[in-house]
């Protein structure tokens, strides 16, 4: 079980990232998500609907093996939101890492915190 | 067996969404999405897909919640129904059905009442205002008798210096009128206030009865 629950914002941004690299359909999105995080396929429908409602995603249907497949496409608004999410994520990650990974030897943090290196010479 | 898994799942999901009163477009949209997941997941993996999706009833509630629907679950619907149907192998695939409408009759009745209120609302307000005006008018009339009494006493006081008998008469009549005014005015006010209280009590009771009927009908319709 994951100790860190995935927030709605994180789900939105990950789905946006998947669709932004290439227009894709529901099954592929769920499979890609499941490779990285432990989410039920049922969580993703509401996420996709939400992103459509807020005009981050738009859909079109394509025929596949005699049936319809709904493809998702990132709008300009969605792309802008994604880059905003990515920036927020980097900041968030750095802040968390500055505490959580203090012993893990993050190079950037180590350069800034010489004093901590001195305290922990075995990690340098 | 795999096929049955998908059909069973989709049948339950569809039933729960219909029960929840979700709009047809939303139901079809959700069903198409999950149908696609099953089909893309592959015929042989349908049980696995169903497992990943979790309890269809919970999924339906989640979809209903996202759409701001009430999430009403029909109590007498049993899992066994779907399983028995599955055994017969005659269940049609859960094709999006455009004919199923949520029970909106009671909503329609409420809307009808609200819309027609444009007609009967002003009439009701007019009648109420008329009755209120009449009551206030009568009260004012009675009050003026008392005022006239006071006026006569003052006049009598002045006249008493020039023509004492007339003055005394005027004071007497004035006192009489004040007494009369007080005697009629107080009970009249009580009567009018009592009548208005009774009327509004009746109005709230009848509105409550109408409202209760609507909700009872709704429950009957949904259970039946």
Q: Give the CATH number for residue A74.
A: 1.10.10.10
Position A110 in a domain: no
Position A3 in a domain: no
Q: Can you tell me the mean pLDDT for B157-180?
A: 84
Closest CA relative to residue A107, chosen from A93, A123, A89:
A123
**CB atoms A26 and B33 under 8 Å:** yes
Range of the domain at A84: 8-98
| Mutation choice for A interface testing from B9, B12, B28, B37 by most A CBs within 10 A | B37
CB B41 within 8 A of CB B49: yes
Q: Does B47 reach chain A within 8 Å, measured CB to CB?
A: no
Position A123 in a domain: no
Position A121 in a domain: no
Q: How far apart are CA B29 and CA B6, in angstroms?
A: 17
Of A25, A40, A46, Cβ closest to residue B36: A25
A21 in helix, strand or coil?
A: helix
Nearest 10 degrees: CA dihedral of B1, B2, B5, B8?
Answer: -70
DSSP conformational letter for B143: H
Residue B94 has pLDDT above 60, yes or no: no
User: What is the rounded radius of gyration, in angstroms, for the C-alpha atoms of chain B?
Assistant: 37
Task: State the total domains in chain A.
Answer: 1
Q: How far apart are CA B206 and CA B191, in angstroms?
A: 23
- Please give the share of chain B, as a percent, with pLDDT higher than 90: 15
Which segment of B14-18, B92-96, B139-143, B195-199 scores lowest on mean pLDDT? B92-96
**CB atoms A30 and B37 under 8 Å:** yes
User: What is the rounded radius of gyration, in angstroms, for the C-alpha atoms of chain A?
Assistant: 19
Position A109 in a domain: no
Q: Taking CB atoms and an 8 Å cutoff, what residues of chain B touch A35? A: none
Q: Does B63 reach chain A within 8 Å, measured CB to CB?
A: yes
Position A103 in a domain: no
The position carrying tokens 């009957």 is B220
Residues of chain A with pLDDT under 70: 1-2, 103-124
Task: List the alpha helices (DSSP H) in chain A.
Answer: 8-21, 26-36, 41-53, 76-100, 107-112, 114-119
**CB atoms A45 and B63 under 8 Å:** yes
Position A13 in a domain: yes
Q: Does B33 reach chain A within 8 Å, measured CB to CB?
A: yes
Position A120 in a domain: no
Q: Does A49 reach chain B within 8 Å, measured CB to CB?
A: yes
| Mutation choice for A interface testing from B16, B28, B52, B65 by most A CBs within 10 A | B52
Instruction: Count the residues in chain B.
Output: 224
CA distance B58 to chain A (A): 10
CB B159 within 8 A of CB B170: yes
How far out from the chain centre does Cα A18 lie?
A: 8
Kindly report the pTM of this predicted structure.
0.49
């Amino acid at each position: 079980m994951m100790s860190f629950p995935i927030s709605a914002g994180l789900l939105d941004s990950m789905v946006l990232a998947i669709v932004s690299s290439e227009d894709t359909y529901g099954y592929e999105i769920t499979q890609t998500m499941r490779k990285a995080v432990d989410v039920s396929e049922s969580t993703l429908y509401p996420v996709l609907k939400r992103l459509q409602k807020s005009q981050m995603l738009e859909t079109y249907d394509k025929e596949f093996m005699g049936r319809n497949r709904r493809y998702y496409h990132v709008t300009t608004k969605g792309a802008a939101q994604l880059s905003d999410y990515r920036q927020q994520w980097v900041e968030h990650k750095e802040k968390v890492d500055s505490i959580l990974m203090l012993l893990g030897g993050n190079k950037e943090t180590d350069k800034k915190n010489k004093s901590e290196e001195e305290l922990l010479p075995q990690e340098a | 067996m795999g096929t049955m898994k998908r059909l069973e799942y989709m049948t339950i999901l569809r039933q729960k969404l219909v029960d929840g009163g979700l709009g047809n477009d939303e139901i079809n949209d959700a069903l198409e999405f999950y149908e696609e997941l099953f089909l893309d997941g592959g015929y042989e993996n349908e049980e696995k897909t169903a497992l990943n999706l979790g309890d269809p009833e919970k999924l339906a509630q989640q979809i209903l919640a996202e759409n701001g629907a009430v999430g009403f679950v029909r109590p007498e619907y049993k899992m066994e129904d779907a399983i028995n149907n599955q055994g017969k192998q005659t269940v049609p695939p859960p094709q999006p059905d455009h004919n199923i409408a949520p029970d909106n009759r009671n909503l329609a009745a409420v809307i009808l009442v609200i819309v027609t209120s444009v007609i009967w609302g002003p009439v009701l307000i007019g009648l109420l205002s008329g009755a209120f005006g009449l009551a206030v008018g009568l009260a004012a009339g009675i009050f003026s008798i008392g005022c006239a009494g006071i006026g006569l006493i003052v006049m009598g006081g002045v006249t008493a210096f020039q023509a004492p008998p007339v003055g005394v008469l005027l004071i007497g009549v004035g006192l009489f009128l004040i007494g009369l005014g007080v005697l009629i005015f107080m009970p009249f006010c009580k009567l009018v206030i009592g009548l208005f209280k009774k009327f509004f009590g009746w109005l709230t009771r009848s509105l409550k009865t109408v409202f209760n009927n609507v909700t009872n009908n709704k429950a009957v319709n949904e259970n039946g």
